Structure 1
Amino acid sequence: MRARILFATLTGNNEDVADVIIAEFQRLGVETIKEDITNVEALDLNPTTQDILVTVVYTFDLGTLADEAIDFYEDLPDVDLAGVVYGVAGSGDVYYGQDYGTAVDILEQQFTKTQGIQGAPGVKVNLRPDAQATIELEQFTQALVKQAQRI
């Protein structure tokens, strides 16, 4: 089984989130690839190159998607991810109240247009992964793997 993790980060928090997910994938014996989302064209995604696709994006400003992920986001509805399990995680800051972690919601909504299979509800991390967020990210990763095993 192969997982591809795409991340966007300014502060390093989302790379930390991605690394927690990767560590759990590796513990579960899943081959993983980690890439900066700016280096990936959504239109080049091929369902045969990964079983699981995870995006880790941060929420910017007042609830907007990270600039690094906008091109990916805009092209995503034109991608056929039939048979691919997807999941979205990302950091935010609870200081922003209702705008906290909205990038996760925004990207999850866009993934519904790809025919991919949502493997787990999105995970929002306040700033960087603490002990509780690490547990949630590990459970998220386990759910993705279980869903991919069903296919």
Structure 2
Amino acid sequence: MRARILYATLTGNNEEVADVIMTELQRLQVETTKEDITYVDALDLDPAEQDILVTVVYTFDLGTLADEALDFYEDLPDANLNQVVYGVAGSGDVYYGDDYGTAVDLLEAQFEKTAGIKGASGVKVNLRPDVPAVEALQKFAQQLVQTAQKR
């Protein structure tokens, strides 16, 4: 089984989130790669190249999506994700109240327009992964693998 993690980060927090997910996927014997989402074109995604696709993006200014992920986001509904299991995680700051972690919600809504299979509910991390967030991210990765094994 193969997984691909695409991330965007300004402060390094989301790379830490991606690393937690990657470590757990690898522990579960999933061949995993991690890439900056800036360099990935959603229209070039090939279902044969990954069983699981994870995006990890931060929420920016008043609940908007990270600039690095905008092109990917806009093209995602037209991407070929037939039978690919997807999941979304990302960091935010609870200081922003209702705008906390909305990038996760925005990307999940875009993924729902594809032929992909939602593998787990999105995970929002306040700033950096603390112990409870690490546990939530590990469960998230485990759910993705379980869903991929059932398809």
TM-score normalised by the shorter chain: which range applies? over 0.9
CA distance in 1 between partners of 2:39 and 2:80 (Å): 19
Residue identity matched to 1:72:
F
The DSSP-based 3-state class of the residue aligned with 1:17 is helix
Residue identity matched to 2:121:
P
Matched, 1:44 2:44: yes
CA distance in 2 between partners of 1:110 and 1:83 (Å): 16
Paired residues, number: 151
Match of 1:133 in 2: 133
**4+ runs of 1 displaced by more than 2 Å?**
none
After superposition, the C-alpha distances for 1:44-101 in whole angstroms (9 at most, x for unaligned) are 0001100000000000000000000000000001112111000000000000000000
Residue identity matched to 1:68:
E
TM-score normalised by length of structure 1: 0.99
Match of 2:2 in 1: 2
Alpha-carbon RMSD across the aligned residues, in angstroms, is 0.4
In structure 1, stretches of 5+ residues that fail to align are: none
> Where do residues 1-151 of structure 1 align in structure 2 (5 Å cutoff)?
1-151=1-151
TM-score normalised by length of structure 2: 0.99
The DSSP-based 3-state class of the residue aligned with 2:10 is coil
The DSSP-based 3-state class of the residue aligned with 2:62 is coil
After superposition, the C-alpha distances for 1:111-137 in whole angstroms (9 at most, x for unaligned) are 011110000000000000000000000
**Percent of pairs identical after alignment?**
75
